[in-house]
Chain A
């Protein structure tokens, strides 16, 4: 946690409510997201107990598995889930726009522009907590290798149609959620704690109810108290008033309510199967009771999820969010194409090249996300400035200069007064965004003496700063602090000698973003009195070198994928007669 976040948390403690960590919303929120609140059976992997799912906050669909150990009931649940989610996922697949993309022509090897489809929007899944994201992945893994009777008439326990397909989609969404800044599958706890600092620890923020209690406490109740209530308040029967956001249930609920109801259900089912009089009616009753119980655990979380969505929607969206959402749309479109092309489900384990590609993509996405958030949001930028990765200040002097090349290029020197203390060394690359949104590059050219620089206002000429080009970084060798300019690679600005003034002046040599001519284009060079913000990090970081095709994986990394692999993808998981414990 950075110091500025720690400070925000402490302010939250003092104020009794969460404090903003951002001034804008840094994640895309769909107009019509699909909310999915799952519950699972304690201790049983991939044995769902129930779920609320839907796009209409007032009319979620309740799905339950009355006896999670029963494979048929579980398949029925998955089929219903697919019925609810799959049409939503498919509904975005047909509204497309055309984008031009460079692709390598297989015959000539040249890059040629091609028109490809890009879906105009993409479906977005919301789950309550990070554990929910993990559960989506697990569901996807448990479903995508199942075989339907259509695919394989021999399969002993055929899965309902659509179930394997939904498994592939959930796997894709779960995988995409690991890319920093992606928005196809989001958890509310993560979203909210990105935008607000509460007066409790990160661990406690994992509880959606408690997190919301800090962000939007009921009138007159301090956040800490509201959070405590959300976390642990129980009713007379010993049940939590605000059940955990799942997917696991509260043990007290399992032991006191769910287990007895399930035994009643099992008994009624046995009776109904034996044809005992009234058995069928008792079975319906028992099932209705279970439905009620499961809904009682899900509904508060469902409402909390939408409450969180409301809070987030009140924040204006950051300018660069749409750029990143476009990548999510590409991701969605890409998977749509793979499904349509009849490709097999994702493998259990990635091959070396795919794994390396995924990691590299995530690293790039992280760097890009960090840069975007800082540029979109002065509060995030403040954190970077505190960390010495950026500085902002007022331009106090601009001096034109040109490079020594045969065709001289403009290399103006801009002096900025700042109180920030960036980690600068000579010729460190700097980046900024101009007022009209274009990127400009520069490099650190040294320190200017603040007193002299201030005097420049009145001075007729500049003598010292013109030398900045040369080896003498600060130019003003004679002044009391000039020595610090000589520090070369050291943390020049962090020199204790600088700390007694109300700031200092840094000279930046502009190296780009000024057009092609000998004279910089108007508006591209900051003017005296402008506020500028330079960063030490790139704004559009690029990934590393390209990786080989999977077919040419070196033997050190396992060699090319097995050509003899079955076209249908990996074998389904072996099924035993009974698959519960």
Chain B
């Protein structure tokens, strides 16, 4: 699961289906294909190439350009990094666990060295609903003062200093996930004697969870790397901290030259942290499943064709509740399937999340239409404000439509 998926999951924390499938590592794309509702996802190779070549260009020169960009944006009056002053530790290691450990080690060393360092494609982990997810930020810069900045390199343009807000928002949410994961590393580095343990991935940070999560003590153990400032306060000297401003690097205007802006992700960070805490533990969801539920597609030997009957698969998927909203369409591979089911059930959310607001206890299209159309002749109020408002709306709409000069229907 990558940070984008994680951010999307956090955007819809009520969806048990997604939490379970993601937590269990099910390939949702293949599942959607087998269910007959493939997602319209995919990346154009042009966009892919461009993204890669832009990133390579930004990081060329040993990251000196990137650190210079960051330093310019900081505007803190400090010395600009001189030539050859940026360390680029080697992060290669076998397996995600190994890379995570290597990253933590490199971060500790760079922090203690007190100089600029660029970590190219580090790996950090985050506990999601009780199971670890490995994340790979584009880069992390360690400042001479020991603080860390997440760098996100995107290939959408920044024209005249502003970029598409939707894309910037997505990048900020994604970066917030990295920041969250890094805070966990920082908190462990900050504790003397535990530094070695920090390098071993998987040791969940349980300290200070309650303080960070506003008293959500029961979820603290499932929570993901809290920064735990309280814990850090008593363990001096601590210098490692994650800056809450990430550096977004984009092409400038219509050129291929990089430009950058600092983006404050405190809000996204708070939202992501809260949403991830709210994620129902996967074990709890799994425990509620009927015995023997599996999402195995029973692929043929060549691994291409699923042989599992669609009805069986559909039943398995339907055994976990989904919380479908149209926003899912752009973030979840399974959304087309969930949409079909949601529409078949006549759920009002299929028309948009905001629709529920005015409908009170009415949750299906049929219920709404029945309530609106079948009012008593005397127009007596029902006492349910939602139903009364609907009836008035229906009456007003009917009156206006009846008064049309000529019936100009859809055709």
A residues apposed to B, CB below 8 Å: 1, 3-4, 6-11, 13-14, 17-20, 23, 41-46, 138, 141-142, 196, 199-204, 215-216, 224, 231-232, 249-252, 254-255, 258-259, 311, 314-316, 348-349, 378-379, 381-383, 385-386, 419, 421, 499-500, 502, 573-576, 578-581
Can you list the 5 inter-chain pairs with the closest CB atoms, starting with the nearest? A43-B47, A42-B44, A251-B42, A45-B157, A201-B326
A386 to B388 Cα, complex, angstroms = 11
Contact B42 A252 (CB under 8 A): yes
Stretch at the interface among B114-122, B173-181, B237-245, B346-354: B346-354
Selected contact of A386 from candidates B381, B392, B408, CB within 8 Å: B392
In the assembled complex, 23 residue pairs joining A and B whose CB atoms fall closer than 8 Å, in A order, are A3-B390, A4-B396, A6-B368, A13-B351, A17-B410, A20-B408, A20-B410, A43-B48, A43-B51, A45-B156, A203-B352, A204-B326, A231-B40, A258-B46, A259-B45, A316-B405, A316-B408, A381-B400, A500-B380, A579-B254, A581-B49, A581-B53, A581-B251
Question: CB of B399 within 8 A of chain A?
Answer: yes
A9 to B411 Cα, complex, angstroms = 18
Interface size class of B (residues with CB under 8 A): 35 or more
Contact A573 B351 (CB under 8 A): no
Contacts of B90 in A (CB 8 A): none
User: In chain B, residues 374-411, which have Cβ atoms closer than 8 Å to a Cβ of chain A?
Assistant: 378-381, 389-390, 392-394, 396-397, 399-401, 403-405, 408-411
Q: Which of A44, A232, A381 has the most CB of B within 10 A?
A: A44
Question: CB of B336 within 8 A of chain A?
Answer: yes
Contact B396 A385 (CB under 8 A): yes
Selected contact of B381 from candidates A11, A232, A500, CB within 8 Å: A500
Question: CB of B170 within 8 A of chain A?
Answer: no
Question: CB of B57 within 8 A of chain A?
Answer: yes
Contacts of B381 in A (CB 8 A): 499-500
User: In chain B, residues 336-360, which have Cβ atoms closer than 8 Å to a Cβ of chain A?
Assistant: 336, 343, 346, 348, 350-352, 354-355, 358-359
Selected contact of B403 from candidates A18, A45, A378, A386, CB within 8 Å: A378
Contact A7 B394 (CB under 8 A): yes
Q: A46-B157, A386-B389, A579-B254 are in contact. List 20 more A-B contacts (CB 8 A).
A: A3-B393, A6-B355, A8-B397, A10-B348, A13-B365, A18-B410, A20-B408, A23-B403, A23-B405, A43-B47, A43-B48, A43-B50, A45-B251, A142-B254, A203-B327, A203-B352, A232-B336, A251-B44, A259-B45, A574-B255
Contact A138 B159 (CB under 8 A): yes
Contact A576 B257 (CB under 8 A): yes
Distance (whole angstroms) from the CB of A9 to the closest CB of chain B: 5
Selected contact of A45 from candidates B43, B159, B161, B380, CB within 8 Å: B159
Distance (whole angstroms) from the CB of B41 to the closest CB of chain A: 8
Contacts of B358 in A (CB 8 A): 3, 6
B residues apposed to A, CB below 8 Å: 38, 40-51, 53-54, 57, 155-157, 159-161, 251, 253-257, 326-327, 329-330, 336, 343, 346, 348, 350-352, 354-355, 358-359, 365, 368-369, 372, 378-381, 389-390, 392-394, 396-397, 399-401, 403-405, 408-411
A349 to B351 Cα, complex, angstroms = 38
Contact A255 B42 (CB under 8 A): yes
A315 to B408 Cα, complex, angstroms = 7
Distance (whole angstroms) from the CB of B134 to the closest CB of chain A: 26
Contact B351 A10 (CB under 8 A): yes
CB closest residue in chain B, given A6: B355
Distance (whole angstroms) from the CB of A576 to the closest CB of chain B: 6
